[in-house]
Amino acid sequence: MRIYIESTIPSYVVARPARDLLQAARQQLTRDWWDLKRHKHELFTSQVVLGEIGFGEKPMAKRRLETMHGLPLLQAIDEVKEFAGKILASGLLPATADRDATHIALASAYEMDITFDVELPAHCQCHH
């Protein structure tokens, strides 16, 4: 399966254990998937994701970036930018969600099977 890895995945993989039970469960599920299942799939990311995970506390940002090292980067070509603009213009996402629109456009343009974002319930994951 071709999977577009969004910024929540490396964030959860390297995060300090959360005190909130739901958040801690998401972290553990993500770490388990990363350690045990990711090798069964073709993983991709983008410069947009690398930009997002590069912010914040320097040591944690470095760990997030190291987690994504070596993944092929999907490029935001003109087709992607145009589609992201159409997504925003449609009103399906808030006007301020330009990075989210770019994630969706990248995954669609490069024919990813799924966009993996831990924050969404499994039944809401974006299948393309």
Given a contact cutoff of 8 angstroms between Cβ atoms, the answer to whether 103 and 46 are in contact is: yes
List the strands of the sheet with 73-74, edge to edge.
73-74, 42-46, 2-5, 114-116, 126-127
Q: What pLDDT is attached to residue 124?
A: 41
DSSP symbol at 94: -
Report domain extents, the chain: 2-127
This model's pTM is above 0.95: no
Class of domain 2-127: alpha beta
Task: Name the β-bridge partners of 44.
Answer: 4
Q: How far is it, in rounded angstroms, from Cα 65 to Cα 53?
A: 7
pLDDT at 115: 83
- Please compute Rg for the chain using Cα positions: 15
**Series of mean pLDDT values for 10-residue runs along the chain (128 residues):** 95 95 93 95 96 96 97 94 94 89 94 78 43
